Amino acid sequence: MTIANRTKTIEEIRADFPILSRLVHGKPLVYLDNAATTQKPKQVIDAISDYYLNYNSNIHRGVHKLSQEATDEYEKSRTTVKNFINAHKYQEIIFTRGTTESINLVANSFVKPNLSEGDEVLISNMEHHSNIVPWQLVCEEKGAKLRVIPINDTGEIIFEEFEKLLTEKVKILSIAHVSNSIGTINPVKAMIEKAHAKGIPVLVDAAQSIQHIGIDVQDLQCDFLAFSGHKIYAPTGIGVLFAKEQHLKKMPPYQGGGDMISTVSFEKTTYNELPYKFEAGTTNIEGAIALGKAIEYFNSIGIGFISRHESELLEYGHSVLSEIKGLRFIGTAEQKASVISFLLDGIHPHDIGTMLDVDGVAVRTGQHCAEPLMKRFGIPATTRASFSFYNTKEEINVLAESIRKVIKMFS
Ligand code: C6P
């Protein structure tokens, strides 16, 4: 079996994830729904227990020992995130509930105050609803327009069309780094360069890239980057917004409440310094701490191994599934993350998903919160298998076998 890195084999990595050894309908679980959420290693689960068993308390508020320990761990995690994406300063890292909240924060605090009638917000045809609806809401309120970069039949951005849409009317470009539905890796660095040449700020939705691609925000030069903890082996309900300090300084708070203030009177409130100005109320303390542990775990496996192994799985998955008669891939971009979306002739994806589940195989079926993308391909839904570094070629064989059974059953 493949050696994962110098210290861990695939078996040892899988043993870190207790859930991977459970049975589903009497069969070993084959978890291929990693784009929806990843499983958690025991190092992350233990960090959550440790918090509640040993130092549960509120942060930034208490002089007592427990509060200081919780504050230290929470802030340590912020530094871990900062180093992970190579941000300049910890002030640029804001803990949110996830990608969705991060995008809503930027839409409401950065874009909306400066948006006027006739202005435009630019997104692409492959966005998740979380990177469509927040923009629609602010555009509707301000009489601005949502413009959409078209994609070709393989699921890639049409770059010349993108360049044409970059006009002085555009107030922000907000773009997925990786498509959740079809896995396309967008050329975000080149897009950011083009946008910046016209003075347009850029938000990168990294919900589906943070767990597959090493991200360096100083190299990308993005203005904003949003991601969710649960896609990178941390719990749900915690996420990150990276924003350049120059923007955060000018942005009004997104929500009001405790911790985001400096002084409060009925006449006037002054706000806390960055990043606390954007973290109103008691935050997801254990989630933030666990996110730090998840990143430490991720780093211990190493992005080198992760991208090599996941590319191998992607290639293997494509080659094994392409041998199945009646199977059609949706999304065949040259640059792809480990996500495979497909259709089977005459069989609805929901039926496929239900039948695969009987064999213990977990995939996602439906529109993947990307209805406009499905419309672009003229299809109602797909079946999506998405791979993590803990998946194996043997599991892909189980998927292929199970798909063959589905076809046989329906023929
Ligand atoms: N995609 C999927 O199965 P939240 O829900 O805030 O953690 O993430 C939203 C989100 C935003 N952008 C992209 C590209 C995403 O993939 C997601 C979440 C999951 O594809 C759940 S719908």
Amino acid found at 76: K
Q: 10-40+302-410, superfamily in CATH?
A: Aspartate Aminotransferase, domain 1 (3.90.1150.10)
Answer whether 180 contacts ligand 1 (Cβ < 6 A). yes
Answer whether 301 contacts ligand 1 (Cβ < 6 A). no
Atom of ligand 1 nearest to the CA of 97: 6
- What pLDDT was estimated at residue 1? 43
The ranges of the chain with pLDDT < 70 are: 1-6
Q: Over the stretch 218-244, which tens digit does the pLDDT of each residue have?
A: 999 999 999 999 999 999 999 999 999
Question: Closest by alpha carbon to 35, among 297, 354, 401, 369?
Answer: 369
Measuring from atom 5 of ligand 1, which residue has the nearest CA?
100
Measuring from atom 1 of ligand 1, which residue has the nearest CA?
36
Q: pTM for this structure?
A: 0.98
Answer whether 290 contacts ligand 1 (Cβ < 6 A). no
Answer whether 131 contacts ligand 1 (Cβ < 6 A). yes
CA angle in degrees (0–180, nearest 5) for 312-313-318: 100
Contacts of 239 (CB under 8 A, 6+ apart): 95, 96, 97, 98, 99, 100, 101, 102, 226, 227, 228, 229
Three-state SS across the chain?
CCECCCCCEHHHHHHCCHHHHCEECCEECEECECCCCCCCCHHHHHHHHHHHHHHCCCCCCCCCHHHHHHHHHHHHHHHHHHHHHCCCCHHHEEEECCHHHHHHHHHHHHHHHHCCCCCEEEEECCCCHHHCHHHHHHHHHHCCEEEEECECCCCCECHHHHHHHCCCCEEEEEEECECCCCCEECCHHHHHHHHHHCCCCEEEECCCCCCCCCCCHHHHCCCEEEEEHHHHCCCCCCEEEEECHHHHHHCCCCCCCCCCEEEECCCCEEECCCCHHHCCCCCCHHHHHHHHHHHHHHHHHCHHHHHHHHHHHHHHHHHHHCCCCCEEEECCCCCECCEEEEEECCECHHHHHHHHHHCCEECEEECCCCHHHHHHHCCCCEEEEECCCCCCHHHHHHHHHHHHHHHHHHC
Atom of ligand 1 nearest to the CA of 99: 6
Pairing of strands 224-228, 239-243: antiparallel
- What pLDDT was estimated at residue 61? 84
Domains of the chain, residue spans? 10-40+302-410, 46-299
**Inter-residue contact 149 to 165 (CB < 8 Å):** yes
Answer whether 35 contacts ligand 1 (Cβ < 6 A). yes
Q: Which residues are catalytic?
A: 369
Helix axes 393-410, 349-358, angle to 10 degrees: 120
**How far apart are the CA of 388 and the centre of ligand 1, in A?**
16
If one counts every other C-beta atom within 10 angstroms of the C-beta of residue 166, the result is: 19
Fold equal for 10-40+302-410 and 46-299: no
Question: Closest by alpha carbon to 55, among 43, 67, 47, 40?
Answer: 67
Answer whether 77 contacts ligand 1 (Cβ < 6 A). no
Answer whether 207 contacts ligand 1 (Cβ < 6 A). yes
**How far apart are the CA of 15 and the centre of ligand 1, in A?**
27
Facing residues of 382 across strands? 366
**How far apart are the CA of 36 and the centre of ligand 1, in A?**
7
Q: Fold for 46-299, please state it.
A: Aspartate Aminotransferase; domain 2 (3.40.640)
- What pLDDT was estimated at residue 369? 98
Measure CA 224 to chain center: 14
Answer whether 30 contacts ligand 1 (Cβ < 6 A). no
**How far apart are the CA of 401 and the centre of ligand 1, in A?**
28
Q: Half-sphere exposure of 167 toward its Cβ, with a 13 Å CA cutoff? A: 13
- What pLDDT was estimated at residue 119? 98
Name the residue of 103, 180, 204, 210 whose CB sits within 8 Å of the most ligand 1 atoms, as the mutation to test its pocket.
180
